[in-house]
């Protein structure tokens, strides 16, 4: 049976992946109350993705690691970390007796069925991407046990694509999705880089001697 529980909800127009560390500046009264309640109870809260002008059904449960700074206004800088994925069963625009939203959520099971061959191809394509972009990154030397969510924000995906990745319950399928994206985008990146080089070459002031005719 699917586990359900009631979570305070903090919708944001981003996708948070399991394991991801996220720093947030809390300034709205309703979310100051949410964080204070979580700090008092030791509880967690959920960040569902706000997408297509509405609160999406899927999100990530988040735990507070630390409150880095509290301002005189009551605003806070907090460090958080993503945990598991949930699907909203019922949504309350305001939780009972609170300023912030809440909802009954179901835990989404995540199949750890990675494909090692696809994973190696994915790693190779990631290196190609970063080399083509001329970006040095820790992702050029990924640990052997990396998961698709670890690289989800570093692929050039838009919010809709990241949200699709979040909803996928199979690591093998997520690997395939990422590999397909990289195979599509790499030729475009290579051509863009060539174009940038041509623009640079043609963009300088040139001291040319006009032909004598």
Question: Mean pLDDT in the chain?
Answer: 88
Asked whether the predicted pLDDT for residue 206 surpasses 50, the reply is no
Look at residue 135 in the predicted model and tell me its pLDDT: 74
Mean pLDDT of 3-16: 94
Displacement of CA 29 from its chain's centroid (Å) = 25
59-83 residue pLDDT tens: 999 999 999 999 999 999 999 999 9
30-44 residue pLDDT tens: 999 999 999 999 999
Write down the domain spans for the chain.
4-107, 116-203
User: Which token pair is 138?
Assistant: 């820790």
pTM of the model: 0.85
As a whole number of Å, the CA-based R_g of the chain is: 22
Report residue 164's pLDDT band, with 50, 70 and 90 as the boundaries: very high
User: CA-CA distance, 7 to 90, in Å (whole number)?
Assistant: 11
β-pair partners for 91: 103
106-122 residue pLDDT tens: 999 999 999 999 999 99
Asked whether the predicted pLDDT for residue 129 surpasses 90, the reply is no
135-151 residue pLDDT tens: 766 555 677 788 999 99
Residue 9's alpha-carbon distances to 37, 39, 57, 191, 213, in angstroms, are 12, 15, 12, 43, 76
User: CA-CA distance, 105 to 56, in Å (whole number)?
Assistant: 12
Instruction: Assess if CATH 3.90.1640.10 describes domain 4-107.
Output: no
User: Which token pair is 135?
Assistant: 């970006």
Asked whether the predicted pLDDT for residue 211 surpasses 60, the reply is no
User: Which token pair is 212?
Assistant: 């004598």
């Amino acid at each position: 049976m699917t586990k359900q529980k009631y979570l305070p909800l903090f919708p944001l127009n981003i996708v948070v992946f399991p394991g991801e560390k996220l720093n947030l500046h809390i300034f709205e009264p309703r979310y100051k109350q949410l964080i204070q309640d979580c700090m008092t109870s030791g509880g967690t809260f959920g960040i569902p993705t706000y997408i297509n002008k509405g609160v999406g059904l899927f999100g990530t449960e988040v735990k507070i690691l630390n409150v880095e700074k509290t301002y005189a206004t009551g605003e806070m800088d907090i460090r958080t970390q993503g945990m598991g994925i949930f699907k909203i069963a019922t949504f309350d625009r305001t939780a009972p007796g609170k300023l912030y939203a809440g909802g009954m959520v179901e835990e989404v099971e995540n199949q750890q069925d990675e494909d090692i061959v696809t994973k190696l191809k994915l790693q190779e394509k990631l290196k190609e991407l970063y080399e083509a972009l001329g970006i040095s990154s820790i992702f050029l030397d990924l640990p052997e046990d990396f998961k698709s969510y670890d690289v989800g924000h570093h692929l050039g995906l838009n919010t809709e694509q990241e949200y699709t990745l979040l909803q996928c319950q199979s690591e093998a399928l997520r690997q395939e999705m990422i590999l397909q994206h990289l195979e599509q985008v790499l030729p475009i990146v290579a051509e863009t880089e060539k174009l940038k080089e041509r623009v640079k070459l043609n963009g300088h002031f040139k001291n040319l001697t006009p032909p004598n005719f």
